[in-house]
Structure 1
């Protein structure tokens, strides 16, 4: 094959390795026209599309960052409101406990006062009834003692002064006997 290339070169003096000048000129002009068309029309469209996409991506990123910042701010505000609400709930709960304790103390105090009043009133009533019973018993015992003494002595003790002395002496003896028995 090597000999074939050398023999063809010797026949036409044409070197197959060296391109033809006119062909090079036509290829160069075609390349220049194609290069001009690509630079003038195709590259600006690519750059425009690239710029639009870059702008859309940057806008999307900016929107996402803005939305993220708004979400973070809303989250912080929510957390603050939640903290405030918990603090307020704790304060209200403590106030309610304190108020309940105060109400309970007031009710206990009122109940104790009412109990003391009722007890005092009952003691007073019991003392009053005891005094009335003592007076009634003295009167009855006096009448019975006078009647009995009159029957024993054989004379009437209708004289009030004498009857009163007899009754008083009888009751004093009775009380002293009760006091001695109680010891």
Structure 2
């Protein structure tokens, strides 16, 4: 019987196996108190500082973002005001340019019409002068031819220039009045023939 005997610890009659010893309870309370003091003195202030820094950073960022938003809004309003001003100024410049263009066109048209009238008047004057010159030349030539012809027909020389010129002028006047549609006076000799 060599049986090993396992000693069995039998609790004493009055002890509760579920309750810890008093020394363990005191050690646990002391450990919790020491841990609470260490955490409240070292860890909590660091957490508080970090929390405060993050709060300030977030609030600063929000404030900075709001300030940037206000500045952007002010810049946008200023840009829109400048754009509206520029548009109205551009419309005014366009309107002024149209008015000025119309005025310039009217001036140029008046100048062109005046120049055209002057050119036409000069042409009429030149034509009238040339016509008068041609008529004078024709009168002289016709007069010379008529006196030569009359001299040959009559058989006498009609050298009296003044008489010949008057006769030719009267003849040409009669021709001109006949061309204009005015009745001409017939010389008495031709009426008797």
Instruction: Confirm or deny a common fold (TM above 0.5).
Output: yes
| Structure 2, gaps ≥5 residues long | 1-8, 183-193
Q: TM-score, with normalisation over the residues of structure 1?
A: 0.82
Contact 1:9-1:15 at 8 Å conserved across structures: no
Distance 1:24 1:86 in 2: 87
Per the alignment, residue 71 of structure 1 pairs with 72
Per the alignment, residue 167 of structure 1 pairs with 168
Partner of 1:14: helix, strand, or coil? Answer: coil
Partner of 2:180: helix, strand, or coil? Answer: helix
Q: What's the C-alpha RMSD, in Å, of the aligned pairs?
A: 2.3
Distance 2:126 2:31 in 1: 136
Per the alignment, residue 4 of structure 1 pairs with none
Distance 1:108 1:71 in 2: 54
Distance 2:97 2:116 in 1: 28
Q: TM-score, with normalisation over the residues of structure 2?
A: 0.78
Distance 1:89 1:23 in 2: 93
Per the alignment, residue 142 of structure 2 pairs with 141
Contact 1:146-1:157 at 8 Å conserved across structures: yes
Per the alignment, residue 112 of structure 2 pairs with 111
| Structure 1, gaps ≥5 residues long | 1-7
Distance 1:10 1:27 in 2: 24
Count of matched residue pairs: 174
